């Protein structure tokens, strides 16, 4: 189910930005959706760091096959070595276990995230090894469905902006931030449609 703000955001973006209007029209009937489970969202985001979507999906499928009961307790019980055999790098496997320990031991403010500001959620998450700003932003978008996240370090966003707004020339972070001011407070939605312009199949976290 699409977020309750989705149609309103589409209308606003289409009014303000003719480029965005054309992209939105090209992808009817699909929208951002949340999986609902914070641990799974963050774990999938770690898998997806610095590898292609296809490679990430392959590794994730192996992890679920190896650990059908994908819970923080199960991940900590089986440990990094088993995860590494699924195709994770040793470092990512260690990140997985650290994330699982944080959830298992109640070290994150999970119950309060829904009522916290975006930056406060990010501050909480980056205390976990392997979770930086990009992963936290993916969590805000794909789990909490926050409407106004702009993941400036995301390569897909940078590529799409270059393609659609700068004739393929690379735009620096400052120019992307300035361009994106017209999308506020719906920058998550604009980012999601820019991703679709590069890959029509939605990424799932």
Cβ burial 73-105 (10 Å sphere, 16+ → b, else e): eebbebebebbbebbbeeebbbbbbbbbbbbbe
Asked whether residue 131 carries a pLDDT value surpassing 70, the answer given is yes
Mean pLDDT of the chain: 93
Q: Which pair of structure tokens corresponds to residue 45?
A: 């985001």
Rounded CA separation 190/161 (Å): 10
Does the pTM surpass 0.75? The reply is yes
Tell whether the model's pLDDT for residue 167 goes beyond 70: yes
Catalytic residue among 37, 105, 111, 154: 154
**Mean pLDDT lowest among 28-32, 53-57, 72-76, 155-159:** 53-57
Residue 36 pLDDT exceeds 80 = no
Q: pLDDT value at position 174?
A: 96
pLDDT tier for residue 163 given thresholds of 50, 70 and 90: very high
Is 167 among the catalytic positions?
Answer: no
Q: Which CATH architecture has domain 38-142?
A: Orthogonal Bundle (1.10)
**6-33+149-198: CATH number:** 1.10.1670.40
Give tens-digit pLDDT for 72-115.
999 999 999 999 999 999 999 999 999 999 999 999 999 999 99
Tell me the domain boundaries of the chain. 6-33+149-198, 38-142
pLDDT above 90 (res 54):
no
């Amino acid at each position: 189910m699409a977020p309750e703000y989705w149609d309103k955001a589409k209308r606003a973006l289409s009014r303000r930005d003719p480029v965005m209007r054309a992209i939105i029209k090209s992808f009817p009937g699909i929208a951002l959706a949340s999986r609902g489970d914070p641990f799974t969202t963050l774990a999938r985001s770690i898998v997806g760091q610095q590898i292609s979507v296809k490679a990430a999906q392959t590794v994730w499928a192996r992890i679920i096959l190896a650990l059908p009961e994908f819970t923080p307790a199960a991940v900590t019980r089986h440990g990094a070595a088993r995860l590494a055999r699924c195709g994770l790098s040793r470092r990512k496997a260690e990140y997985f276990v650290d994330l699982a320990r944080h959830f298992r031991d109640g070290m994150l403010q999970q119950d309060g995230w829904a009522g916290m500001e975006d930056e406060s959620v990010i501050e909480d998450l980056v205390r976990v090894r392997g979770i930086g700003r990009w992963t936290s932003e993916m969590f805000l978008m794909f789990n909490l469905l926050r409407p106004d996240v702009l993941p400036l370090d995301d390569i897909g966003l940078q590529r799409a902006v270059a393609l659609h707004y700068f004739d393929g020339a690379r735009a620096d972070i400052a120019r992307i931030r300035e361009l994106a001011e017209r999308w506020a407070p719906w920058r998550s939605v604009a980012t999601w449609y820019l991703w679709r312009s590069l890959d029509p199949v939605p990424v799932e976290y």
